[in-house]
Structures are given as C-alpha cells and as structure tokens.
Chain A
Amino acid sequence: QLQLQESGPGLVKPSETLSLTCTVSGYSINRSSYYWAWIRQPPGKGLEWIGSVYYSGSSFYNPSLKSRVTISMDTSRNQISLKLTSMTAADTADTAVYYCARHEHCDNCYSSYFDSWGRGILVTVSS
C-alpha cells in the first residue's frame, strides 16, 4: 500500500531555506509513469502546486515559485525532497502545510491529478 510521509523542520526563520523530505513506502519512485509533487496550503486557504519531479529527474515548477524551488529525488532512499529558498514571514503563503503527492501528469491523457497524498507538515516562518 502506497504511503507518503513528509518530514522536516516545523519552524524556519525569514530568509532561510526550507528543506523537506517525503519518504515513499509501498511503491518504488524510480518506476516510470508517475511524477512526484509538492503542494502547499496556507492555514485556512486553498491549495497551491509547487512543482513535480519525474523518475528520470526532470522537473517542472509553478512559474510563481520557480526561481526559489528545487525538487529532487533520492531513489536509493525512495525519497523526494523540496528546497524553497528565501522564506518569508507572515502574510505570505510560505507559512503553510506542505504536502507531497503522487502525480499523474501524462502528455497524451489531457489530465493532471494527484492520487495519493501524505498527511502534510506544517511549516511556520517566524523569527
């Protein structure tokens, strides 16, 4: 059974880089067919796709975050990582619950959806 588990610091300081890890169990991330994604949700607000990475290592990102984001894979550990630079404090979307998810995004299927999600990790930006 596929399970995803996010881990990392719950608190980061303004201007620092956020580093999160998603550990996948029950499925090998280096199998083809799926991307692996990060999505975030500020408290009381909606969902925002951050970016996704394919088993080959190729990735694509939300244009609004592209300059700050790196998503990568460690296939030996079956993990996906997120790095988000220049975190900012309150009144921005950086304080949020960060989710990792399995992402179906195929060129010929005209759809893009997230079929399995981790429970999420709350990250607060504060000095």
Chain B
Amino acid sequence: SSELTQDPAVSVALGQTVTITCQGDSLRSYYVSWYQQKPGQAPRLIIYGKNNRPSGIPDRISGSSSGNTASLTITGAQAEDEADYYCNSRDSSGDHVLFGGGTKLTVL
C-alpha cells in the first residue's frame, strides 16, 4: 500500500483524552512515527519506534499500534496541544517513506 490515512480533524475538551489514528497496510510491518506541527513552525517529532518519546516530550503523549492502525493518545489535553498531527512510516516495500494527510486537533 502507498497510503497512510488520517481523519482530517478531531476535537477534545480541555483536560480530556483524545486519540488520533493512522491507517495503512504498511503499518502491519513497520513502526509509525508522529509529528506535531503548530502554525508557522516546522514539524516536531513526538513519537518514534515502539512508543519512544524524544527528550522533552511529556509522557501524557503516547503511541500504540494494532494491525494496520496506529494511534496517538494525548491524555489530559492542554491548550498547547492544539496543532496538526502527522503520522509517517515506510511503504509496504520498505523502500520509501509515507506521510499521512494530517489531523487538525482542536482543544475546546
């Protein structure tokens, strides 16, 4: 498969938990990574490999995967979490790189 599919938009109430998903056949074989992008800024890696967080990413942000679906969960959503979120992985051949279309998260 040459696609990663994300819901275009998701909303969450302040302090609640939200899950953003990413679907693709290649996710059965490869880990997904997640990025947060705020307006006017470059994307920032927030999850990679088997639920690893780079330094400085809070542990209320976590990742998981099952079958062809990967999930990014934000527990206790804060106003600062309002951003676009992108998933990325390899394609099914493993030779190329894919990005999902992105999910715009709104914190209400």
Contacts and interface: CB of A to CB of B under 8 A. Distances in A.
B33 A111 contact: yes
Main secondary structure of the interface of A (DSSP, over half): strand
B98 A49 contact: yes
A47 B41 CA distance: 13
A52 interface: yes
A117 B42 contact: yes
A106 to B, nearest CB: 10
Interface in A68-127: 99, 104-105, 109-120
A60 interface: yes
A14 to B, nearest CB: 26
A121 to B, nearest CB: 11
Contacts of A110: 29-31, 90
B33 A112 contact: yes
Given A46-B86, A110-B29, A115 B54 contact: yes
B59 interface: no
Contacts of B67: none
A73 B99 CA distance: 24
Contacts of A115: 45, 48, 54
Nearest to B8: A46
Contacts of B45: 113-116
B14 interface: no
B60 interface: no
Contact of A119 (B29, B42, B96): B42
A60 B96 contact: yes
B38 interface: no
A53 B105 CA distance: 33
8 contacts: A37-B97, A47-B102, A49-B97, A62-B96, A111-B30, A112-B30, A112-B90, A113-B48
Given A46-B102, A111-B89, 9 more contacts: A49-B96, A49-B97, A62-B97, A105-B97, A110-B31, A113-B33, A113-B45, A114-B35, A116-B45
